[in-house]
Amino acid sequence: MSPPRKVAVIDIGKTNAKVVVLDCALSKEIAEFRTANRVISGPPYPHFHVDGLWDFILTSLVALGREPGFDAISITTHGACAVLLDEDGALALPVLDYEHLYPEEIRRDYAAIRPPFAETFSPALAGGLNLGAQLHYQKTAFPAAFSRVKTILTYPQYWAFRLTGVAANEVTSLGCHTDLWCPRDDHYSTLVDTLGLRDSLAPLRSAFDVLGFVTPYIAGRIGVPGEVPVECGIHDSNASLLRHLIGREGPFAVVSSGTWVVNFAVGGDLDHLDPTRDTLANVDAYGRATPSSRFMGGREFELLTAALGPLDQQAAMSAMPAAIARQIMLLPNLAEGSGPFPGRRAFWLNAENASIAERWAAACLYLALMTDTCLCLIGAGGPTLVEGPFAQNRVALAALAALLGRDVIALAGDTGTSQGAALLAGASPASADGGARVAPLAAIGLHAYADSWRSISARRDKKRA
């Protein structure tokens, strides 16, 4: 089978989904369709509108198959998601939204059975961010429906299954804070047998494997001639990481932004991770454990924009000296339940008479300080590569470069999820010279401001923004 020239990538994020075609020789997106990733409120619980996504995927593949065309398909999706299939391959239960919060009794029972951090390198997270918590909730709250479960798939592999009929699981999705995987030892955790899931979990395959070809029915639906191979697929943050792992030696850090700001310390150390501060080990496409941390920075930026209006970067940069001098601060967390300061509720400090520009300056400092904290917690070293929407925020990145005291490189374009997924199918790595080194913020009092922010953030103040 000859290498593909163009790859269609199905890229499903928590907020949006897209189908793009990449030119393999250039590793460049040449066509795209995009839609919102809709959550249905229920019953029986908030769940993803997978039928709507499937219609969008097929419609997009039809259009992209005509122009510009493609000869392979790869898939990447957000984590904290599993699909439960019955013996006919249909949904046994809806695909649960990981932000759903479970009854206290169920949460308490799960806490008693989840493995220790030293086994899974997976911190205890809110709602269903631990995939094991989702499965425990579904098994406990819906026993009749759960008894019909024949096959459990991680989310990228569910879409591969719908295209090929081949069921699989893959370690980048199993290794992202699920409680189900032991990253250091490369096998399932004890929770799998505690929940009685082993016989239902689909076989493990490598992210680089071709699972099969689109079925004749799908080929007819989307109008493609001949056989179109489908890659196994990969977790989105690890898709972003993959393109940096090829041809670059550690240590270095990657800050991948979207709904979440996910940080990777390549060449870092697992032994000093703090499970109480949302640090963890992700598993990369090669099966290797990588120290990681994150906070919901994209969601927080949306909340800030709703409250303050659009960010005027020039005005915010001009207001930076006043914000620092007056100690105008935004303290964690706008999006609660995760990140390096769990349990904190956001509030503004010294902001009673602050202008919008001064508040935005403080908000950009907040994003930089949250990222700096996350990188410090995972022992990141070397240059820091920033991709996604955060890479466009030159105010926050200038502050981050000053705080870190080492190179920060802003990468053009969206997160590398689609490019990373295309690499699985044989696309060439993108050129490494596309980034721009960020000039550090030159502001008197920045480090004293940062010390105060860290000290206040570490306290358990419960005031709300």
State residue 257's pLDDT score.
Answer: 92
- d(C-alpha 271, C-alpha 51), whole Å: 42
Residues 288-311 have a mean pLDDT of: 96
Report the candidate in 64, 62, 39, 34 with the shortest Cα–Cα distance to residue 49.
Answer: 39
State residue 308's pLDDT score.
Answer: 98
435 has pLDDT over 90: no
For the CA atoms of the chain, what is the radius of gyration? 22
State residue 207's pLDDT score.
Answer: 97
Q: Note the pLDDT tens digit of each residue in 333-379.
A: 999 878 999 889 999 999 999 999 999 999 999 999 999 999 999 99
User: Which of these ranges, 159-168, 292-301, 425-434, has the smallest mean pLDDT?
Assistant: 425-434
Residues 158-171 have a mean pLDDT of: 98
State residue 460's pLDDT score.
Answer: 54
Helix (H, G, I), strand (E, B) or coil at 32: strand
Residues 388-417 have a mean pLDDT of: 93
- d(C-alpha 161, C-alpha 155), whole Å: 10
Residue 188 phi/psi, 5° resolution? -65, 150
433 has pLDDT over 90: no
- d(C-alpha 333, C-alpha 319), whole Å: 23
State residue 463's pLDDT score.
Answer: 44
State residue 438's pLDDT score.
Answer: 97
Residues 213-237 have a mean pLDDT of: 95
Would the CATH topology of 6-234 be identical to that of 259-414+433-457?
Answer: yes
Helix (H, G, I), strand (E, B) or coil at 73: strand
Which amino acid belongs to residue 294?
A: R
Domain ranges, ordered by start, for the chain: 6-234, 259-414+433-457
Q: Note the pLDDT tens digit of each residue in 89-128.
A: 999 999 999 999 999 999 999 999 999 999 999 999 989 9
Which amino acid belongs to residue 437?
A: R
* Residue 413 C-alpha from the chain's centroid: 17
Q: Which residues contact 442 (CB under 8 A, 6 or more apart)?
A: 402
**Mean pLDDT for the chain?**
94
Report the candidate in 76, 182, 186, 180 with the shortest Cα–Cα distance to residue 135.
Answer: 180
- d(C-alpha 36, C-alpha 58), whole Å: 15
- d(C-alpha 281, C-alpha 265), whole Å: 10
- What's the pLDDT band for 247 if we cut at 50, 70, 90? confident
State residue 205's pLDDT score.
Answer: 98
- d(C-alpha 444, C-alpha 15), whole Å: 38
Q: Which residues contact 204 (CB under 8 A, 6 or more apart)?
A: 168, 169, 170, 171
- d(C-alpha 279, C-alpha 367), whole Å: 17
- What's the pLDDT band for 413 if we cut at 50, 70, 90? confident
The rounded percent of the chain whose pLDDT value lies above 70 is 97
> Which pTM value belongs to this model?
0.87
Burial of 254 (0-12, 13-18, 19+ CB in 10 A): buried
11 has pLDDT over 80: yes
State residue 429's pLDDT score.
Answer: 82
- What's the pLDDT band for 431 if we cut at 50, 70, 90? low
State residue 434's pLDDT score.
Answer: 61
Question: Contact 329/348 with Cβ under 8 angstroms?
Answer: yes
Q: Note the pLDDT tens digit of each residue in 38-83.
A: 999 999 999 999 999 999 999 999 999 999 999 999 999 999 999 9
Which amino acid belongs to residue 92?
A: A
CATH code for the structural domain at 259-414+433-457: 3.30.420.40
State residue 343's pLDDT score.
Answer: 84
The class of domain 6-234 in CATH terms is alpha beta
* HSE (side-chain half, CA atoms, 13 Å) at 199: 5
Residues 311-337 have a mean pLDDT of: 96
Given the DSSP bridges, would you call strands 82-85 and 252-257 parallel, antiparallel or unpaired? unpaired
State residue 132's pLDDT score.
Answer: 98
Better pLDDT: 435 or 381: 381
Q: Which residues contact 417 (CB under 8 A, 6 or more apart)?
A: 11, 13, 76, 236, 237, 239, 240, 258
461 has pLDDT over 70: no
